[in-house]
Copies of this chain bind each other. A is one copy, B any other.
């Protein structure tokens, strides 16, 4: 066997507590090489009496590797373990010290999961795996109170630019909740609502006040209450990486420089604050002078932002925070944020905006999930752009499922587009069939799904700002057939536990056929999704025998 391919290191996605009694152990081998894998496990203080051999299941595969998983419930919550592989007649054992053809005689050389402490268990809110979110960009969803229109508000439906306004507001959302209920979503993700100068509001001026163009804090409370009455949860956008240029502490530093009592709130490389050769002399989001990076290591800044996080949970009863530019803020701050948020509401969802590998944030001490863009990209490349085939798609999905703890997959935030990307229909080149397949995949994949407002009625749009168009409300301009498909897919998901669980296995990923099995965590339900992604009819026989679940390479069938 190819020893260089075999990888395991305790913690992360390789050895973690799934709940207060269960440890998941994973290992990878070169794809197609191992016929079976098992864990040798026991209590480290009573090895001889407790040593046990636990077969591993094939969790997933990608281009290079097979990923194996076993569940172990150590009676005294502590575990020593090693791995054994069989490939034909060859056996190989793996301990922390390396490889050997026979079982290590010194069990002290094995790996350790020293103790399963509940405080370290990663527990995302249980409701998230059942959630279908609807993302609302408030300035463009519905104008329910024209008296709040900013100066120069354009007629609804015009072309969006980086700077124009159409008057969307909270009253508009309140009046359109029937649309959300008809679609069947049960959660909203709002782009920023707090006072700011831009139309996207990612440049906060006042973190404790709803933007007056959107309404009031009371209006938001009314809206959240109305959502809750319909069983719809509400998540807000927390822009804690940076503030806006009108944020009073920043204004003070702009005016007073190093003398400002707020000088330590930002990362200033040189006073006075200015922009030289397009580079601000203070840290910003990107090179954007109006978005100064907040110093989240400063005790006052921490207290202020944690108070903001607390305020909207306590005063308005929001159900979660989406954290903007989350990976540029220090881990220490996010740990404190989690303690504050979960202390107030253990069921609050903490979602980080990270587009890349996020294992360092998904260990239980920081976020519940990240915006799952790697899966977005894989789905778009396959369903929308046709850049990859089923096998390549299955490889990326396999890699993603193996890369995180199971609870991360269950609570993942899966999206096919957002205010930061071209719209799904546009990426699909206008082909509704592709939109439907991608959406069906999204809604039958583990984790929460998020529909970007308007995608469900066939809105098109390229990258920012084009993807931020005004919601189409005239029924005759909406694609109602597409809406019905979205609603049906959401209903399907909500009707079937298997579709909301983590159990996922490809049955076919070849030619024009993509098929996968979904399995309820308690084994009570199996659901098979089969899609023809080609232009021609396909005849296929799928290996849906439940006994077949340990087939090393189902995608090669």
Contacts and interface: CB of A to CB of B under 8 A. Distances in A.
A98 B500 CA distance: 29
A120 interface: yes
A156 interface: no
A3 B64 CA distance: 8
B46 A287 contact: yes
Q: Within the oligomer, what is the number of copies of this chain?
A: 2
Residue of A117, A329, A330 contacting most chain B CB atoms (<10 Å): A117
A88 interface: no
A271 interface: no
A2 interface: yes
B332 A64 contact: no
A179 B165 CA distance: 80
A297 B20 CA distance: 13
Nearest to A241: B115
Chain A contact patch, size range: 35 or more
Contacts of A283: 76-77
A152 interface: no
B333 A119 contact: yes
A476 interface: no
A78 interface: yes
A10 B357 contact: yes
A359 B78 CA distance: 18
Nearest to A361: B11
12 contacts: A2-B2, A2-B4, A3-B64, A11-B359, A45-B286, A108-B355, A117-B329, A117-B332, A119-B296, A119-B297, A119-B331, A120-B331
Interface of A: 2-5, 7, 9-11, 30, 45-46, 63-65, 76-78, 96, 98, 108, 111-112, 114-115, 117-120, 279, 283, 286-287, 296-297, 327-333, 335, 354-357, 359-360, 365
Given A96-B356, A117-B332, 14 more contacts: A3-B64, A4-B4, A5-B5, A9-B359, A45-B286, A45-B287, A46-B287, A76-B279, A111-B356, A114-B327, A117-B329, A117-B330, A119-B297, A335-B365
